[in-house]
Amino acid sequence: MAGKWQYPHRRWNPLRQAWLLVSPHRTQRPWQGEVAQKSAPSAVQYDPDCYLCPGNKRAGGAENPQYDSIFTFTNDYAALLPDLPSQQDVPSSPLLVAETARGLCKVLCFHPDHSLTLARMTQPEIRRVVDAWTKEYEELGAIDWIKYVQIFENRGAMMGASNPHPHGQIWTTGFVPDEPAAETAAQREYSSNNSRCLLCDYVKEELRAAERVVLENEHFAVIVPWWAIWPFEILLVSKQHASAMPEFSESQRDALADALKRLTTRYDNLFETSFPYTMGLHQAPTDDDDHKEWHFHAHFYPPLLRSATVRKFMVGFEMLGMPQRDITPESAAERLRACSEEHFWPR
């Protein structure tokens, strides 16, 4: 099928209920735009100036413990706050509506070693991160006013990471944000119309076709989705139906750590660089509603397009019209499948 789609066409994203434009012929155009700097893995295991290394003082003044595994703390510069004034300004117009946005933001350090990334950590080390994510989702989601727990990682300066230390973030909100709200609506509609799970059906179809599957293990599939927007976008999805990580067995948690290790290693090996991306776990909202329709998955949105130094920009038509990509998801999956799972930069 890869050759069949070498002309401009649109693809439907059933999870977001939106179209995207695919223009494979555009990879032939010359590039005279921005060329970024290639990012090599760090060799610095401890940085005395890093706000996240063990024992160091953070920008807000707090001192980190001498942690030897996982370390979490409330973000010193949180985008959302748990305590807000009850009084709200009355909007002067129905077109000028606002409301208070309550939330709680945390930082989760994956490892004390400043030089590491998920790609260069061991599977057991990543499993500890999986356990920490699960614990945070359970504990934060149990707070009565928290409606959604968004776990994510921005990897690399190209994706806005303000610190190279291996870490991610957890933002919780008193409302369900737009992206998971849209996915809730799509999954609920599909379940209502078909009496089946959208992503359960989708995973079966992708495993049958095998064109866009990068790797799999007993419990997870790693796919360049049919509707991928970013060049090497990935949907990491559980094969068995589960709405959130607390439902995973011990073997499923091991399998998730395995899939994360293998995928991020392939990413780094693709262009022999510390591969940038934004990764986020999508799980059922914690709003006390029944979310049987929800199916756990993770999105990886990496910006690199042609090399370690040339990235995809979402500008122009992408911002004003609709998302567009230059290489087909099938060719992206083929290139990632060809990558080794032995990291090019030994730990």
Cβ atoms of residues 312 and 335 within 8 Å: no
Q: Cβ-count burial of 181 within 10 angstroms (0-12 exposed, 13-18 middle, 19+ buried)?
A: middle
Name beta bridge partners: 109: 71, 167
SS3 249: coil
From the candidates 114, 165, 167, 299, which is the catalytic residue? Answer: 167
Number of Cβ within 10 Å of residue 279's Cβ equals 22
Alpha helices in 31-166 (DSSP H): 123-141
DSSP 2-30: GGGG-S-EEEEETTTTEEEEE-GGGGGS-
Backbone angles phi, psi at 4, to 5 degrees: -65, -25
For residue 215 the two structure tokens come to 């790797």
**Residue 69 corresponds to which amino acid?**
S
Per DSSP, 292 falls in state T
Rounded-to-integer distance, Cα 281 and Cα 296, Å: 8
Place of tokens 């079966």: 204
The yes-or-no answer on residue 297 being catalytic is no
For residue 6 the two structure tokens come to 């070498």
Rounded-to-integer distance, Cα 223 and Cα 166, Å: 24
State the chain's maximal CA–CA distance in angstroms.
60
Give the start-end residues of each E strand in 82-233.
Answer: 103-109, 148-155, 167-173, 213-216, 220-223
Number of Cβ within 10 Å of residue 217's Cβ equals 16
Rounded-to-integer distance, Cα 113 and Cα 165, Å: 8
SS3 78: coil
For residue 287 the two structure tokens come to 């709003």
**Residues annotated as catalytic (active site), given as ranges:** 167
